[in-house]
Structure 1
Amino acid sequence: MNQISVSLPTTSAANPALAQARIAIISANWHSDVVHQARDAAARRLTELGAAPARIHQIDVPGAFEIPLMAQKLAQSGQFDAVIGCAVIVNGGIYHHEFVSTAVVDGLMRVQLDTGVPVFSVALTPYNFQHGELVDFFRQHFIQKGEEAAHACAQTLAQHAAIDALLEQAVTA
């Protein structure tokens, strides 16, 4: 059985799929001081991995609940090769966060399955987010999660390009 494996460079070495990709990063404005840590980290890491900064687009929406619809609009436009959504969904102790987080993640999954455009989620529900001493921890955590989303995005785009090339070879063979 043949297997396709794609390794990512750890430096800005060429990743042709990423270099040509147009990527949208959607950020919820709710708790933007934390959410933008993920957005900025993802954009920075994508650039380090070989994405062209001018091809990374940042879009703000009011809250997490608005991310899937914006992701759908962008993915359906045919103008974007990948979408990353970033949000804090606050656990306020009334279980509202469970419904919102489920709706957001399910919505993002639906967008990628319906459009074929990879969609990545940094929509997190930190426990005890409201406690002052933990906010700095979550800012750092969101940096890490933004970087992880960038890596997943880069690897997924490379894998899709490899699969597309393989399928093209099969058609012409």
Structure 2
Amino acid sequence: MPRIAIVAAQWHAEIVDQAVSAFRERLTELGIDEVDVFRVPGALEIPLHAKRLAVTGRYAAIATSALVVDGGIYRHDFVAGTVVDALMRVQLETDVPVFSAVLTPHHFHEHAEHRDYFTRHFAVKGRELADAVSATIESLAAIG
């Protein structure tokens, strides 16, 4: 049975954890029970953790999740793009598939409407992430 890792940023943990929970639940439904969760402070810490996990050889795939928002000071789209680019390099350098649910909305505000919406949205993304992991593991196994 394949072992999967998920690396989740703790910035907006109450939202990001919805993706982690839904990811684990969906993988269990798909017959994959070995999932290790690694929590990191923020999105920029994800690629290094993903690479360290990939080179161990213990994981068939690595998933990631973060919510990168516009805090008014930094370019959130730059942060998210940097993370996703680094994750692509990790999978190409290590030959371990790496999946991203590092999401950056156009607008995010701390009021209840946005928090509720993104809480639900991350649960959906967690399930989609699990489906992508499962399908990719199967397709790569078929290639050999």
Q: Same fold (TM over 0.5)?
A: yes
| Stretches of structure 2 lacking an aligned partner (at least 5 in a row) | none
More strand by share: 2
Q: Secondary structure at the match of 1:139?
A: helix
Aligned identity (percent) is: 50
Structure 1 stretches of at least 4 aligned residues deviating more than 6 Å after TM superposition = none
1:94 deviates by 4.1
Equivalent position amino acid for 1:46 in 2: L
Matched, 1:112 2:91: yes
Distance in 2 (CA, whole Å) between partners of 1:148 and 1:93 is 30
Matched, 1:49 2:30: yes
Q: What value does the CA root-mean-square deviation take over the aligned residues?
A: 1.0
Distance in 2 (CA, whole Å) between partners of 1:86 and 1:56 is 14
Distance in 2 (CA, whole Å) between partners of 1:98 and 1:128 is 11
Distance in 2 (CA, whole Å) between partners of 1:78 and 1:59 is 16
Name the residue aligned to 1:24: 5
Q: Secondary structure at the match of 1:143?
A: helix
1:98 deviates by 1.8
Distance in 2 (CA, whole Å) between partners of 1:149 and 1:63 is 19
Taking structure 1 as the reference length, the TM-score comes to 0.80
Matched, 1:67 2:46: yes
- State how many pairs are aligned: 143
The CA deviation string for residues 93-123 of structure 1, in whole angstroms up to 9 with x for no partner, is: 4452122111100011000000010100000
Equivalent position amino acid for 2:114 in 1: L
| Stretches of structure 1 lacking an aligned partner (at least 5 in a row) | 1-19, 165-173
Distance in 1 (CA, whole Å) between partners of 2:74 and 2:39 is 25
Distance in 1 (CA, whole Å) between partners of 2:27 and 2:101 is 15
